[in-house]
């Protein structure tokens, strides 16, 4: 049976490794900036991940949505908290984000299923 969470993580890891093996200093700095931005600061990591999830949903980036959903789960955010953030994203982004909202809900369900 297919496991979308594992497939996504495997693909992301493999392609990041390939990209960074030949990346310019600029691209490496962008990757590092992204990673360091989501570390604890004045905002805790869970809040930052929810912000990333909302921004990714408004921008309609399914890969980013998946990434932030997994990070939200790792930060022990509840399904209700994640859904509330996705509601905010839908209000901000408008009805065009609804297909991404469906995919996000389905992916969260898969994350929870994998954790059992």
Q: Kindly report the CATH number assigned to the domain that includes residue 67.
A: 1.20.1290.10
* Residue 108 lies in domain: 4-115
Structural domain total, the chain = 1
Report whether pLDDT(49) > 70: yes
Tell me the three state secondary structure of residue 111: helix
In the 8-state DSSP scheme, what is residue 77? -
- Cα separation, 111 vs 116, whole angstroms: 9
Report whether pLDDT(1) > 70: no
Give the model's pLDDT for residue 2.
84
- What is the tens place of the pLDDT at every residue in 86-104? 999 999 999 999 999 999 9
Start-end of H helices in the chain = 4-21, 25-37, 45-58, 62-74, 79-93, 98-115
- What is the tens place of the pLDDT at every residue in 5-39? 999 999 999 999 999 999 999 999 999 998 899 99
Give the model's pLDDT for residue 116.
82
- Cα separation, 72 vs 67, whole angstroms: 9
Percent of the chain topping pLDDT 70: 99
| Beta-carbon contacts of residue 92 (< 8 Å; ≥ 6 apart) | 54, 58
- What is the tens place of the pLDDT at every residue in 55-67? 999 999 999 999 9
What is the dihedral sign for C-alpha 19, 21, 23, 27? positive
Q: Are 110 and 69 in contact (CB under 8 A)?
A: no
């Amino acid at each position: 049976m297919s496991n979308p969470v594992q497939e996504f993580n495997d693909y992301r890891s493999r392609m990041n490794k390939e990209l960074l093996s030949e990346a310019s200093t600029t691209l490496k700095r962008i990757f590092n900036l992204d990673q360091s931005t989501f570390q604890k600061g004045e905002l805790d990591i869970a809040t930052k991940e929810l912000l990333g999830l909302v921004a990714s949903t408004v921008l309609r980036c399914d890969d980013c949505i998946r990434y932030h959903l997994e990070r939200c789960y790792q930060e022990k955010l509840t399904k209700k908290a994640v859904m509330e953030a996705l509601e905010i994203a839908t209000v901000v982004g408008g009805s065009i984000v609804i297909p991404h909202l469906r995919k996000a809900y389905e992916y969260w369900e898969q994350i929870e299923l994998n954790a059992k």
